[in-house]
Amino acid sequence: MSLHPDTVAVHSGRDDLNALGVHALPIDLSTTNPLPDIERGGDAYEAMATGGRPIENGSLVYQRLWNPTVARFEEALATMEHAEASVAFSSGMAAMTAVILAMTSATGKRHVVAVRPLYGGTDHLLGSGLLGTEVTFCHPSEVGVSIRPETGLVIMETPANPTLELVDIAAVAAAAGGVPVVVDNTFATPILQNPLDLGAAMSLHSATKYLGGHGDVIAGVVACSEEHAEALRRVRAVTGGLLHPLGAYLLHRGLTTLPVRIRQQQANAQRIVQWLIDRPEVDEVFYPGLDGDPQGILDRQMRGTGAMIAMRMRGGYAAASSVASAAELFTHAVSLGGVDSLIQHPAALTHRPVPADARPDADVLRLSIGLEDADDLIADLARAFAVVETLQETKSQRI
């Protein structure tokens, strides 16, 4: 039976609840589990420590290897991403680290092709060499010529952080040949985009953002094939990057309202974008589809434009800094995708460790649009813009 994504979001990952005799999602906090006997306990440990699933009549042994609450969330997210499996981690960066280790160190192919722009943390991790990889940063059109025999992974993000560039997933996957492509799908979520349907091997989320949606859990998750899931679970078991069961419970609960939240946040964002376009304080607005989508990427791979906006302030860094500080309904804070609206300066914060030639411009602000009334958010930005104008006039009079 083919179900609407709204229905999938509510019902996925709950197949075992009837047998358990419960309706609400249970939380299993056990850190250790009884062993049936030495042999089966040992077999169960080996199966899960090497990336496999629990064995029949075995034991879950230890939470670092497997947890039922985490597994339900993983099943739900995999269903929403049209994937065979997914693997959850303690943060988005833990998830990205596991992907890189599984596809490079574990395979001996230590070269990575990274399509810029990327989230600042990912860019910084790759550039640091901390994981023993060699990285080629490139434009989407350069992926094919950047691939080497020793390339183990291609990393991309679309819409890209922070200026919302769209990258053609199918084109990058084709250019990568047989090299696995991981797509950071945080901004789009499974509601608006499914990278695996377009040729990607893995779809990665900072689940802290839209999947959780309430700013109260940090997590990461990767949707992929069972083969890749085994490799990722092996890394997770060895490195200890597990997601706590309480976090998994909050994320699974958050998935049920994800479609509704995305639709309303997107509607708010579209209203705000139209208002920003005509503001004299703003030089440029970055939002999917504003350029008319000349390459047709938006139409081919997304089912909406999302709720993230970036804008270039006419007054440069000083104006950007003043607006971020003057906003009231927009909380001046990093992160995104929650029910409340946020404003932040990428160059000074999330992208600060990125090399200067790849860092966002200092006059750019990023907005994460929440569930507040759109008119109230517009009025808040108008007040912040007015504060900047007043400061500039005062400064001009003093000069």
Rounded Cα gap, residues 214 and 314, in angstroms: 32
> CB burial class (10 A; 0-12, 13-18, 19+) of residue 118?
buried
Residue 109 annotated in active site: no
Rounded Cα gap, residues 236 and 255, in angstroms: 23
- Of the residues 45, 62, 119, 249, only one is catalytic, namely 119
Cβ atoms within 10 Å of 333's Cβ, excluding its own = 15
Rounded Cα gap, residues 398 and 392, in angstroms: 10
- Of the residues 6, 28, 43, 64, only one is catalytic, namely 64
Radius of gyration, CA atoms only, the chain: 22
Rounded Cα gap, residues 396 and 399, in angstroms: 5
Rounded Cα gap, residues 314 and 240, in angstroms: 46
C-alpha dihedral sign at 68, 73, 74, 79: positive
Residue 119 annotated in active site: yes
Rounded Cα gap, residues 215 and 68, in angstroms: 23
- Of the residues 109, 110, 209, 234, only one is catalytic, namely 209
The two three-digit tokens of residue 13, written as one number: 């990952």
C-alpha dihedral sign at 64, 65, 68, 74: positive
Apex CA 59: angle with CA 57 and CA 61, to 5°?
Answer: 170
The two three-digit tokens of residue 364, written as one number: 């750019």
Rounded Cα gap, residues 139 and 172, in angstroms: 10
Residue 395 annotated in active site: no
Cβ atoms within 10 Å of 332's Cβ, excluding its own = 16
- Of the residues 168, 184, 363, 380, only one is catalytic, namely 184
Residue 209 annotated in active site: yes
Residues carrying an active site annotation: 64, 119, 184, 209
